[in-house]
Amino acid sequence: MSEFWRDRSVFVTGGTGLLGSWLVAELVNRGARVTALIRDGVPQSRLYTENWHHQINIVRGCIEDLPTLARAINEYEVDTVFHLAAQTIVGVANREPLATFEANIKGTWNLLEACRRVGGVSRIVVASSDKAYGDQEILPYDETTPLQGEHPYDVSKSCADLICRTYYVSYGLPVCITRCGNFYGGGDLNFNRIVPDTIRSAFHDKPVTIRSDGSYIRDYFYVRDGVLAYLHLAEQMERKEIWGEAFNFSNEIQIKVLDLVHKVLMLTNKTSLETKILNEAKHEIKHQYLSAKKARKLLSWYPQYSLEVGLQETINWYYNFFKSL
């Protein structure tokens, strides 16, 4: 394993989240000195259930608080920042757009401004989303696709993405942006998402509920591939020519929600379960998936997990999780 991360001071926002908890674990395993910003205590997060919190520094606070961010970056002499904290649920954004804008837009400029003021940070990786592109007629999205979100969550990501760009162009801040599809994997405690909810239904032999009409097409990205992509991008930022750039990370598989549900039920041997289609989804993009050609070409990056392998590992994690409750 590369020695790149050994003894490197790394600041992770959103440490209790799906991606954050897996990233913290991998960084600890690679010898990094990790500091995580945590707003809420989430006892069932992998950060706590697998005891990673005992091996890192924890800063209590939120990304809307600039002084807290500046203090953490300064006092822990942070070299690398992974900004993952965000309000990520589309339904929550539709109900409370201002809180989503505060977290996703203000939180991003606070993080970047803290890095600019304190200085000394050598690389910043900011999590945007495929939703930043909005609804597009030409697919797949590549990094030249305009950022034109229209609904609250999508707009929050479009704005945050552009703010990152201006901090690079105007201040030379060493920032790169990731745009990934829908993350899935063990440890996602947002059971309104299709993968964990379907697995939970399979475990308890209950009907599967689909909020949309089932025809929405998405790009699903395994969290362990996401962690490797983020680390690889950060390592590649030794090359200043990629600063300020955005990169799509994807296994480039487009799949309908209903087909994904059927795949999970097949892997859990629960294909006889009833599927209830509510057709209640509002303010969501119907068809989206990403091209990762730029990441392959400029970063020599490739995904390591197939959809089937990722889903099977995810199912195994949740089955162990539910058995422990």
Q: Which of the following is catalytic: 133, 141, 153, 289? A: 153
3-state SS track over 246-298: EEEECCCCEEEHHHHHHHHHHHCCCCCCCEEECCCCCCCCCECCECCHHHHHH
Distances, alpha carbon 282 to alpha carbons 95, 174, 197, 279, 302, in Å: 11, 37, 19, 9, 34
Q: Which backbone phi and psi does 86 adopt, to 5 degrees?
A: -170, 165
Is 122 strand, coil or helix?
coil
CB contact set of 237 (below 8 Å; sequence gap of 6+): 122, 123, 125, 174, 176, 243
* Residue 83 and residue 35 in contact, taking contact as beta carbons nearer than 8 Å: no
Strand order, beta sheet including 254-256: 182-184, 217-222, 254-256
Q: What is the CA radius of gyration of the chain?
A: 19
CA distance 89 to 112: 23
Residue 153 is among the residues annotated as catalytic for this protein: yes
Q: Are 24 and 34 in contact (CB under 8 A)?
A: yes
Closest C-alpha among 292, 259, 238 to residue 123: 238
Q: How many helices (H) and strands (E) does the chain have?
A: 12, 12
3-state helix, strand, coil in the chain (%, to 5): 45, 15, 40
Q: Which residues are tagged catalytic?
A: 153
